[in-house]
Chain A
Amino acid sequence: MGEAEAEFEPLILAFCCNWCSYAGADLAGTARISYPPNIRIIRVMCSGMVHPALVMDALSKGVDGVLIAGCHPGDCHYTDGNLKTERRFEAMQVMMEDMGIETERLRLEWVSSGEGEKFARVVREMTEQVKKIGPNPFKPR
């Protein structure tokens, strides 16, 4: 049992905004700060572009975790796209509860273009957390 859990490698999707978080992820690379290879980054123009339905769709298809990363409040390239995401995030958590998925599988983080270290830390933490929760029950077997 314990062995099987140790072997579980989660798949985590990250939606990173083009202006801050994607650049932050790049900086983590430039600074050679390593993090677990479980993350797949999808570039979007703004975190406000991430449709809750898209996230729910991904989770219902078996993605183990979803990270939405945007600019810090007040720093959004589009003024307050990230704040809209913050409100949608609450909605998404409600949807997850209704679907019976652990809300900890979804995480919203503010990562600026200068915070490579933070990006790596968030990915590390999230991978740990999702590993603890275990595989997504919706994952097709």
Chain B
Amino acid sequence: MPKTSQSARKRTAKPRKRAERRPPRLVPEPPSRLPRPFMPKPIVWKEGEAPRIGVFICHCGVNIGGVVNVPAVVDYAKTLPFVAHSEENIYTCSEAGLASIKEAVKKHGLNRVIVASCTPRTHEPLFRSACQEVGLNKYLFEMANIREQCSWVHSHEPEQATEKAKDIVRMAVARATWLQPQDEPEIDIKDSSLIIGSGIAGLTAALSLANQGFKVYLVEKEPDLGGNLRRLHKLYPTMQDSSEILNPVIEAVKAHKNIQVLTSTNIMDVKGYVGNFLVTASKNGQKTEFDVGTIIVACGSLNYRPPEGLYQYGIYDNVVTQFEMDQLLNKGAIENPDRVVMIQCVGARKGEIRAYEIEAFAMSDTSRILRKILKARKEEGWPYCSRICCMNAIKNAILIKEQSPKTDVIILYSDLRVYKEYEDFYSKARDLEVKFIKFIEEAGPEISETPDKKMLVSVYDMLAGHEVKLTADWVVLSTPLIPHKDSILLARTLKIPLSPDGFLMEAHLKLRPVDTQMDGIFLAGSATGPKDVPESIVSAKAAAARAAILMANKKMRTEAITAVVNPDLCRGCGRCEEVCEFKAIELVEVAPKVVNARVNEISCKGCGTCSVTCPTGAITMKHFTEKQVSAMVEAALTGT
């Protein structure tokens, strides 16, 4: 065994083909000006104080209680070592449930608390703060996930689910026995913000933050502000000119003393962490650097241009997208046509990615998942509903009808989604005698040219039950909003995960809509998925409010999960320094000829790679110590 460990360590230390596998370094590094690291404080805990664990098992209504026999688990928990108290709650996260935790801590002198309920990813902060209220360090709290990872997935086998719940609770108790209180380092939050993208979302967020007194850097890669909205003409459902909305906002942004506008500028790199980001931007090859406390990503989306040949697009000039139709209407280029045919969900049903897009990714990025996204899109198209296309088509149809009432406007759809107040908008189009024809997704319309240079659209009318042939002067394709290549690359730099559709992903679909997994980075506008103007503005204001909360507080506490070096075991080999992606660990001469590794608690993200690399076992992770994890392993093995 020792020999095998040794040979394994060698392999671990000198991985094969390391240079090839290593992705480009995009990780935040701490700016050198920040306060230098300090040695971790000794952990204060009462020597000789035996753990007294309280276990609270949640029914979660019927979510857990309907499958798992909760009273049996409570009885079982009472038999486990160091468990001083165990009880069941209908909803532990309710006011009453939290009160019972606090009461039990006081009554039974508990010094560890376990809640067996849902996932720690959503509810841990709530229970931790309840513990803090009664003076218990929040790192003495542990969660046992018996809903997402037990009752919900084993709903058909209640007996086994109950046994598994007991096991999960036993593992949590084993871990809790070894938990220790931790101190969280406090960091300063700079009162400035970087906003990436100057579409309506970016502009709104910039104004909102600047009006609250924060310094804002508004970075736009194009020479002009305004994003997609600048290229649009009329907006649904009010039929206002987009400039009516956009121009006052742009002027206000340009004139605001707190906003520095950087156009034709690209973000090259973002280093650091929440409160202290160091941004490197480049304008025509000229680099500038500035510090910000928070970042709002409002880089928007792209209107999909179909590949050449899809519905004859790019081959005939009178086949255009809705976006182009909007511009043609603006120019007055549409003069009383006999018939206009619009096709919905183009590219969303059987679209194709242009080949150069995939090539660009293959060259510029090592990530397999990106290529996977694009490959899937190439095969399936953009299968999500783009939300805006139906209203956009109706808007252009109404514009054409109002301009030339004799023109026959027909919208071909397989699904039509006109939500909330847009139902009236749809009725208005019907009143104006815009026609709607439903086709079957699998048998979409086909387009050819007639001898008199018009387009012939043949489509199977599902409701009438026969094929119709329509001669049209214009064919208009409704194409979805898709993620921008640059925004995907930006996500890499900022370490924001991507959704399967390729948009930037929020921290939680329901509970944290504008947050990202990265502290201090927020999302606004259509970067997270197709949005219309009001929705973009709402999300921008929400993101600005989230960023302002951080900056107004000026300070925040970070997770205490960091690496700790035991100086007695450290021999100063420097392997930890080598593997650390965050430059959070370095060798320091602590005494003449004695070199030890030292951890910068603020830069340390707590990934634990160094602790595995350390040949002497000198590095442990706070809150994930070897004892704590192996206690869980052992508990898993000790069957009921």
Contact present for B636 and A11 (CB under 8 Å): yes
Residues from chain B with a CB closer than 8 A to the CB of A92 are 8
Residues from chain B with a CB closer than 8 A to the CB of A25 are 148-149
Q: Give the distance in Å from the alpha carbon of A18 to the alpha carbon of B497 in the complex.
A: 14
The reply to whether the CB of A28 lies closer than 8 angstroms to some CB of chain B is yes
Q: Contact partner of A51 among B27, B120, B612, B637, CB < 8 A?
A: B612
Contact present for A94 and B11 (CB under 8 Å): yes
Contact present for A48 and B155 (CB under 8 Å): no
Contact present for B148 and A58 (CB under 8 Å): no
Interface hits, A73-111 → B, CB 8 Å: 73-75, 77-81, 83-84, 86-88, 90-92, 94-95, 98-99
The reply to whether the CB of B126 lies closer than 8 angstroms to some CB of chain A is no
The chain A residue with its CB closest to the CB of B175 is A42
Contact present for B607 and A45 (CB under 8 Å): yes
CB of A114 to closest CB in B, whole Å: 5
Contact present for A83 and B22 (CB under 8 Å): yes
The reply to whether the CB of A44 lies closer than 8 angstroms to some CB of chain B is yes
Contact present for A88 and B148 (CB under 8 Å): no
Q: Contact partner of B636 among A13, A28, A77, A95, CB < 8 A?
A: A13
Contact with A along B289-301 (1 / 0, CB 8 A): 0000000000000
10 closest Cβ contacts across the A-B interface?
Answer: A74-B367, A29-B148, A49-B608, A78-B607, A91-B8, A29-B152, A87-B15, A91-B11, A98-B4, A46-B607
Task: Knowing A13-B636, A51-B626, A99-B4 are in contact, say whether A72-B121 is a contact too (CB < 8 A).
Answer: no
The reply to whether the CB of A126 lies closer than 8 angstroms to some CB of chain B is no
Q: Contact partner of A80 among B148, B561, B581, CB < 8 A?
A: B581
How many residue pairs between the two chains, A and B, have CB atoms under 8 Å in the bound complex? Answer: 200
| Interface core residue of A28, A35, A51, A86 (most chain B CB under 10 Å) | A51
The reply to whether the CB of B99 lies closer than 8 angstroms to some CB of chain A is no
Contact present for B636 and A52 (CB under 8 Å): no
Contact present for A73 and B5 (CB under 8 Å): no
Contact present for A112 and B497 (CB under 8 Å): yes
B residues apposed to A, CB below 8 Å: 1, 3-5, 7-9, 11-12, 15-16, 18, 21-23, 25-27, 119-121, 145, 147-150, 152-157, 160-161, 163-164, 167-168, 171, 365-370, 492, 495, 497, 499-500, 505, 517, 561, 579, 581-582, 605-609, 611-613, 621, 624, 626, 629-630, 632-634, 636-637, 639
Contact present for B612 and A88 (CB under 8 Å): yes
Known: A26-B145, A74-B370, A80-B23. 5 other contacts (CB 8 A): A48-B609, A52-B612, A74-B367, A91-B8, A120-B153
Q: Give the distance in Å from the alpha carbon of A41 to the alpha carbon of B636 in the complex.
A: 10
The chain A residue with its CB closest to the CB of B500 is A114
In which size bucket is the chain A interface? 35 or more
Residues from chain B with a CB closer than 8 A to the CB of A23 are 121
The reply to whether the CB of A129 lies closer than 8 angstroms to some CB of chain B is no
Q: Give the distance in Å from the alpha carbon of A81 to the alpha carbon of B27 in the complex.
A: 12
Residues from chain A with a CB closer than 8 A to the CB of B157 are 37
| Interface core residue of B7, B25, B637, B639 (most chain A CB under 10 Å) | B637
Contact present for A44 and B634 (CB under 8 Å): no
Residues from chain A with a CB closer than 8 A to the CB of B12 are 52, 87-88, 91
Contact present for A34 and B8 (CB under 8 Å): no
Contact present for A74 and B5 (CB under 8 Å): no
Q: Contact partner of A32 among B152, B609, B636, CB < 8 A?
A: B152
Contact present for A26 and B626 (CB under 8 Å): no
CB of B606 to closest CB in A, whole Å: 5
Task: Knowing A37-B154, A73-B367 are in contact, say whether A79-B5 is a contact too (CB < 8 A).
Answer: no
Task: Knowing A45-B624, A87-B12 are in contact, say whether A73-B366 is a contact too (CB < 8 A).
Answer: yes
CB of A112 to closest CB in B, whole Å: 7
The reply to whether the CB of A43 lies closer than 8 angstroms to some CB of chain B is yes
Contact present for A49 and B365 (CB under 8 Å): no
Contact present for A44 and B11 (CB under 8 Å): no
Contact present for A19 and B153 (CB under 8 Å): no
CB of A23 to closest CB in B, whole Å: 6
The chain B residue with its CB closest to the CB of A139 is B637
Contact present for A95 and B634 (CB under 8 Å): no
Q: Give the distance in Å from the alpha carbon of A90 to the alpha carbon of B14 in the complex.
A: 12
Residues from chain B with a CB closer than 8 A to the CB of A81 are 581, 607-609
Contact present for B153 and A42 (CB under 8 Å): no
CB of B439 to closest CB in A, whole Å: 31
Contact present for B637 and A62 (CB under 8 Å): yes
Residues from chain B with a CB closer than 8 A to the CB of A114 are 499-500, 505
Contact present for B368 and A74 (CB under 8 Å): yes
Task: Knowing A49-B621, A58-B633 are in contact, say whether A26-B149 is a contact too (CB < 8 A).
Answer: yes
Contact present for B23 and A113 (CB under 8 Å): no
Task: Knowing A57-B633, A99-B4 are in contact, say whether A87-B148 is a contact too (CB < 8 A).
Answer: no
The chain B residue with its CB closest to the CB of A48 is B609
The reply to whether the CB of A4 lies closer than 8 angstroms to some CB of chain B is no
Residues from chain B with a CB closer than 8 A to the CB of A133 are none
Q: Give the distance in Å from the alpha carbon of A114 to the alpha carbon of B517 in the complex.
A: 14
The reply to whether the CB of A61 lies closer than 8 angstroms to some CB of chain B is yes
A and B contact pairs by CB, cutoff 8 A, 23 listed: A11-B637, A11-B639, A25-B149, A32-B152, A44-B624, A45-B607, A45-B624, A49-B608, A73-B366, A79-B23, A79-B25, A81-B607, A81-B608, A81-B609, A84-B612, A86-B21, A91-B11, A95-B4, A95-B8, A98-B4, A99-B1, A112-B369, A112-B497
Contact present for B609 and A84 (CB under 8 Å): yes
The reply to whether the CB of A132 lies closer than 8 angstroms to some CB of chain B is no
Residues from chain B with a CB closer than 8 A to the CB of A30 are 148, 152
Q: Contact partner of B612 among A22, A50, A86, CB < 8 A?
A: A50
Q: Give the distance in Å from the alpha carbon of A56 to the alpha carbon of B612 in the complex.
A: 13
Q: Give the distance in Å from the alpha carbon of A111 to the alpha carbon of B156 in the complex.
A: 25
Q: Give the distance in Å from the alpha carbon of A28 to the alpha carbon of B152 in the complex.
A: 8
Residues from chain A with a CB closer than 8 A to the CB of B634 are 61
Residues from chain A with a CB closer than 8 A to the CB of B499 are 114
Task: Knowing A26-B119, A94-B7 are in contact, say whether A48-B612 is a contact too (CB < 8 A).
Answer: yes
CB of A84 to closest CB in B, whole Å: 6
Contact present for A37 and B497 (CB under 8 Å): no
Task: Knowing A74-B23, A88-B12 are in contact, say whether A35-B637 is a contact too (CB < 8 A).
Answer: no
The chain B residue with its CB closest to the CB of A93 is B8
